Structure 1
């Protein structure tokens, strides 16, 4: 063996180094994901009656403030910090070692070896912000603001943080147990969409129907606002999914492309179905279908190719459309169809990842059932879905029941009838 060979074998690998291109991209992606929460406010705000538009927008906007502070103080540490509860199966919860971002400096090679650790924290913060904001569409027009604020803090801590750790966490050599199992979730199918969708269903059932539901017209008061919100969500979703590559390379580009294709196919599918069943191509349907496609492609965006994305978008448009139809037949009041779009769309997307994933896109992933991988990956996806449904459903129910017992969840009947904008906020959206 030559002296050169010996020297090469004994050299230590180069230290991790911040990549300026990756860093610039994730800064932009973080800003795009931040935009999604106020965009959600517009989307939801346009769907409610005009007497409740400010209170609905406030749900999203205030989430941006409250969750950001909670995330910095303890949320990030519990979700991504060194494990405090772990077994051979994997880690179940982070610790408070990073409380208040103590020690969150330099580069964290476990999560993102080419960008600053603070930037990874900030990117993940925006996911934490929008997830509970999504739930608010289910209890729009009838929940007390104080109860909403406390719900934000408790739900993020008790529901979001553990699921986030299970799926994406694991700092000290022990991965989150769902991550260690091998279930794939590139950008939040379980963590964000199934989680919020199930919580929304529980919230709608616990709070009960709005006064006059099924007897009075409760149509969207501003369709252009809904379309504006959907367009901004579509725009921001490129950061949501492509940013989850955490690098500016081929994987980010693939996620960017398949995100757009799934949204496009979802919009086409929902519009077509509304045209067939109702005799007109619905504008609201096009907006909702695009969001459904975006929801469904989220867990798969880093693992599927363009063909898989088109099928996932088509399935999302159809499944979520008939989810809304089913809600109207069952009669529960999920005001803005959060469960139909995010719950059902997220479940479809997570399972579809087990069908259409391919290592040709991401060698760190797996081959799904339709790409020669057998049923194994689909089974892992189903476990991830089932655990998320169970934890989110049970814990959301407990949180809401405790809040209802302590401070009450719903506004008074007269406040609901007069509108939450004036009753809770003392303001009006429209002064004519």
Structure 2
């Protein structure tokens, strides 16, 4: 595309900042865009408004901009559905989206798409399990209808993978019902929890029209009246009255697909503590964030308490940040014993790190990004486990760390302590 188009896009977004207020928790969605050069980029930071979007995009000139239909606990670097190595992402919500497109682009086909959208909304208004959220003109061949799922039971399923599967199945059933009623909608969009949809407020890179939120009253207007309210850039194409038949072209060799390019990383700052007991040769504490494979909330705590009892770890301290739980057993244990415990409970990667590096760094603070925005607060839960005389000495430094992190343990004066009292801490910068 030309330099003029780049200037047009910059000018448009300067005059028409994107409104995120209609989206529930926009910072829990993922975002992707295609640059004017054709590169696909995935946002590597949370986006909550036009200002944070602009920072995430940086110097890229965006041709097309998309938002995920799903809301995630952590929307950054989402693993693929088939990825079995990383913990399954936690789905918090999924917008029900119907994509109504009638190709090729023409006023006649747009009118057909508008009629389908109106009729579909009239049909869905009778479904008490969903609620209309918004509607948008896609900027090209049709419209998007957004709905909120009022049935929250499926989003309370503890197993993240099972939760997503149940949501997908629920959406498939709804989509099937809509199709059987004769509505022409994109069958790839509604049931896909990993789908992205064009972000309202962004310019459609091909037509130059803005993907625009419209009210139901606007949707029911005659098409020409509705299009008058749609912003566009100066070089926007003229929509023909009727679709033109495409010209026959000679077959070309398929172009090699360009590799996907990710955005520049964003630095995040956090405080980390070492698992090593300072002042000793090979003593370590059991200190880790409970893995997602143990579940979340009470289910994860049950798994942790089971480990504490089976391994005679006594009383351990816990903190919570969102759905993540941090556990510390301040006993000064021989490092090989800790490695063995981690392996026996399915934490092979953590065991390998501890064995190779002789200690591990564990995050003990909130995460602060380069804009000084803090993540969810890290809060103490308390001390849980089996109250019995310890068979091993305590790590002096990790007892001090507990106290600094607002958990106060009563220690018998006769208790044996190992190592020096000052915790090993560092400020880490991650990308």
The normalised TM-score by structure 1 is 0.26
Q: Report 1 or 2 for greater relative contact order, CA contacts < 8 Å, sequence distance ≥ 6.
A: 1
Q: Which has the larger radius of gyration?
A: 2
Structure (1 or 2) with the greater helix fraction: 1
The normalised TM-score by structure 2 is 0.26
